[in-house]
Amino acid sequence: MIAIVLGTRPEIIKMSPIIRACETHGLDCFILHTGQHYSYDMDRAFFVDLDLPEPEYSLDVGSWTHAEQTGRIMAGIEKVLMKEKPEIVLVQGDTNTVLAGTLAAAKLSLQVGHVEAGLRSFDRRMPEEINRVVADHISDHLFAPTETSRQNLLREGIDDAKILVTGNTVVDAVSQNLEISKTRFDVLDEMTLKPGEYFLVTAHRAENVDIRMRLGGILDSLAAIGDAYSNPVIFPMHPRTAKMVREFGLSLEGITVTGPLGYLEFLQLESNARLILTDSGGLQEEACILGVPCVTLRDNTERPETVEVGANVLAGVHSEKIISSVSRMLGAASTWKNPYGEGNAGEKIVARVAHQRRSELHLPLSSSGCIEKK
């Protein structure tokens, strides 16, 4: 039995190809949703929109301090794992859910598989960096999205036999879910936008939105960019960001602010944007995959592959640097090669998980490392 542990919307998205691969091959699995950031009821729409089975377990933990949230999640996961006794627990990314799930499983002597292993920003001030490092060092299977991630793990002394370079499940998810989106929404028509004629923005990280100077620098640059290129700047604003804009009394003039959008709707906006400005790690990947130039509103990134192939540039939060970075990326050709694989990462991960039982399950591996379909 496979336990799939997730707690945030990005985890639902990136785990969706693994869940689908388990279903396709009839593998026994269950989903445990910790509810780290949102209520289960709010996330239920995600499972419905992505045609995923609902979680068998929901902890509905909610937001707390890092320590208390991690402790609550760990205690809840432990109870479920003791009841179900899965053979392997899969976690994805770098959240408190990942840290808690990995620790709970390891202390019960259960196998742990870390999806998206080996990412490093090399900035230990980021809680996410601590989470991913700890998870990597106590996991039994490390599913690295790229060779760069594998090399990070090897440099830290992790056994190469534990590591499998799979590509990133985000490639699978973007491909699968964009097709679903096209059958359900036409966001551009609803917002009267034209493909390639608007900028798309997200900003939610505490180090950006909780500091007035940094958030103000971002907003000032967005207004200037919209004016300089005569294109609307679309900003689906995270509730945390909206709260800080109000508290700081900052201006949103020249920026089109919307409420948070559903994933399928947002994916359409991403795929048709002229350029994306973001502090999200996942969006750096998705922009690269979709062939949309990206300017990252951070000083470092755990997705260096996007920068190396020319799909992304680090701009920080100072207006002049952001504006010059936008000019640079708009002048570059969008001809980079996607560094995150061919869209079969979910299949490769499930194949490795099933490897020890493949004779019993009659699931031989193909030359690509995926499970051969009958």
159 in the same domain as 217: no
202 in the same domain as 136: no
Residue 373 forms part of a structural domain: no
pLDDT, residue 46, reads 83
348 in the same domain as 325: no
Residue 52 forms part of a structural domain: yes
Residue 182 forms part of a structural domain: no
Measured CA distances, 79 to 32, 65, 104, 108, 111 (Å): 11, 22, 9, 11, 16
- DSSP state, residue 118: T
Q: Can you list the positions of beta strands (E) in 98-138? A: 111-115
pLDDT, residue 369, reads 56
* Residues with catalytic roles: 204
Which tokens in the block code for residue 347?
Answer: 């299949």
Tell me the residue range of the domain where 195 lies. Answer: 188-330
| Cα separation, 10 vs 278, whole angstroms | 15
271 in the same domain as 199: yes
354 in the same domain as 289: no
Please tell me the total count of domains within the chain.
2
pLDDT, residue 104, reads 98
240 in the same domain as 119: no
pLDDT, residue 19, reads 97
Q: Is 300 exposed, middle or buried (0-12, 13-18, 19+ CB in 10 A)?
A: middle
DSSP string across 278-302: ES-HHHHHHHHHHT--EEE-SS--S
| Cα separation, 166 vs 340, whole angstroms | 9
320 in the same domain as 348: no
28 in the same domain as 113: yes
194 in the same domain as 287: yes
| Cα separation, 189 vs 325, whole angstroms | 29
Count of CB atoms situated within 10 Å of the CB of 282: 20
Residue 214 forms part of a structural domain: yes
Close Cβ partners of 203 (under 8 Å, ≥ 6 residues apart): 209, 215, 218, 235, 238, 241, 278, 279, 297
Residue 205 identity: R
Q: pLDDT tens track of the chain, all 374 residues?
A: 999 999 998 899 999 999 999 999 999 999 999 988 766 666 777 888 888 999 999 998 888 889 999 999 999 999 999 999 999 999 999 999 999 999 999 999 999 999 999 999 999 988 899 999 999 999 999 999 999 999 999 999 999 999 999 999 999 999 999 988 888 889 999 999 999 999 999 999 889 999 999 999 999 999 999 999 999 999 999 888 999 999 999 999 999 999 888 889 999 999 999 999 999 999 999 999 999 999 999 999 999 999 999 999 999 999 999 999 999 999 988 899 999 999 999 999 999 998 755 544 444 545 455 555 43
Which tokens in the block code for residue 339?
Answer: 């560094």
* Nearest alpha-carbon partner for 199 in 241, 232, 236: 232
140 in the same domain as 37: yes
Measured CA distances, 347 to 75, 98, 248 (Å): 31, 21, 47
Report the predicted TM-score, pTM, of the whole model to 2 decimal places. 0.85
pLDDT, residue 363, reads 47
323 in the same domain as 222: yes
Residue 259 forms part of a structural domain: yes
Residue 343 identity: G
DSSP string across 326-366: HHHHHTS-S-PPPTT-SS-HHHHHHHHHHGGGHHHHT--B-
Residue 93 forms part of a structural domain: yes
Q: Is 146 exposed, middle or buried (0-12, 13-18, 19+ CB in 10 A)?
A: buried
Residue 370 forms part of a structural domain: no
pLDDT, residue 38, reads 65
The CATH code of the domain that includes 93 is 3.40.50.2000
312-314, strands of its sheet edge to edge: 256-258, 233-236, 199-202, 275-278, 294-296, 312-314
312 in the same domain as 233: yes
